C-alpha cells in the first residue's frame, strides 16, 4: 500500500493558496482516478481510497492544519503499519523554490517549513517529498505567512493546471510504480 499525503489547510478559504498546492494536486489525482473523499476522523484527515498498478493507494489531506500535519501522518502510518521510508509520499509547497520548479527528495530537514517539521517530529525524516516551488516576485515584498497564505495569480493558476499539477501527478505515479527519481524538475520555462 502507498500513502500520498499533502500538506495544506482544510477550510475552503485556503483553496487556491500557495500553502494548499499539495491539496490541489491530490484533488486532481482523485478526480482522475475516480476516488471519492471521505472524512476519517480517526486519522484527522479526509481520505480517498483507490488503487494504482494493482496496489492500494490512500490519498490523504490532513484536517489538522498545515503546521500539525505530523499528527495525521503518524496515525495513518501506525494504523496501516506502513514504513514512511518506502510507503509514504508527501506533497508540499516550497517558497524557497521558484514557481514552476519541482524537487524530489528522499529525506531531509525541514528548512523552516513547519509542516515538514511536524512530520519529522512525528514520523522521522525518512520519507519521499515532492516540493513544489511557489516563489515569485512578491516573495520579497511580504512576510512568509502572508505569502504562503496568499492566492496564486490567474497566470500562475493556469500554469498550475496546465503544467505543474500534471507533472506532480506524473511523479506521484512514478512513486507508486517504484520508479521515482530523486532530483529536480523544472516544469516551466
Nearest one of 33, 36, 115 to 73, comparing CA atoms: 115
Residue positions counted in the chain? 189
19 is an active site residue: yes
Instruction: Classify residue 50 as exposed, middle or buried by CB count within 10 Å of its CB (0-12, 13-18, 19+).
Output: middle
**In which region does residue 177 sit, left (phi positive, over 0), alpha (psi from -120 to 50) or beta (all else)?**
alpha
Q: Which residues are catalytic?
A: 19
Amino acid at each position: 500500500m502507498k500513502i500520498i499525503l499533502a500538506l495544506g489547510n482544510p477550510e475552503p478559504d485556503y483553496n487556491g493558496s500557495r500553502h494548499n498546492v499539495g491539496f490541489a494536486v491530490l484533488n486532481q489525482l482523485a478526480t482522475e482516478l475516480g476516488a471519492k473523499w471521505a472524512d476519517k476522523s480517526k486519522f484527522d484527515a479526509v481520505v480517498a481510497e483507490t488503487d494504482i498498478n494493482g496496489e492500494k493507494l490512500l490519498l490523504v489531506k490532513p484536517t489538522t492544519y498545515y503546521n500539525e500535519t505530523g499528527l495525521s501522518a503518524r496515525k495513518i502510518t501506525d494504523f496501516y503499519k506502513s514504513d514512511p521510508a518506502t510507503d509514504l509520499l508527501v506533497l508540499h509547497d516550497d517558497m524557497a523554490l521558484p514557481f514552476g520548479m519541482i524537487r524530489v527528495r528522499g529525506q531531509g530537514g525541514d528548512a523552516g517549513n513547519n509542516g515538514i517539521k511536524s512530520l519529522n517530529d512525528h514520523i522521522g525524516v525518512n520519507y519521499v517529498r515532492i516540493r513544489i516551488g511557489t516563489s515569485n516576485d512578491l516573495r520579497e515584498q511580504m512576510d512568509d505567512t502572508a505569502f504562503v497564505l496568499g492566492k496564486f495569480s490567474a497566470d500562475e493558476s493556469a500554469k498550475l493546471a496546465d503544467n505543474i499539477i500534471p507533472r506532480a501527478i506524473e511523479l506521484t505515479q512514478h512513486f507508486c510504480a517504484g520508479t521515482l527519481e530523486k532530483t529536480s524538475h523544472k516544469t516551466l520555462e
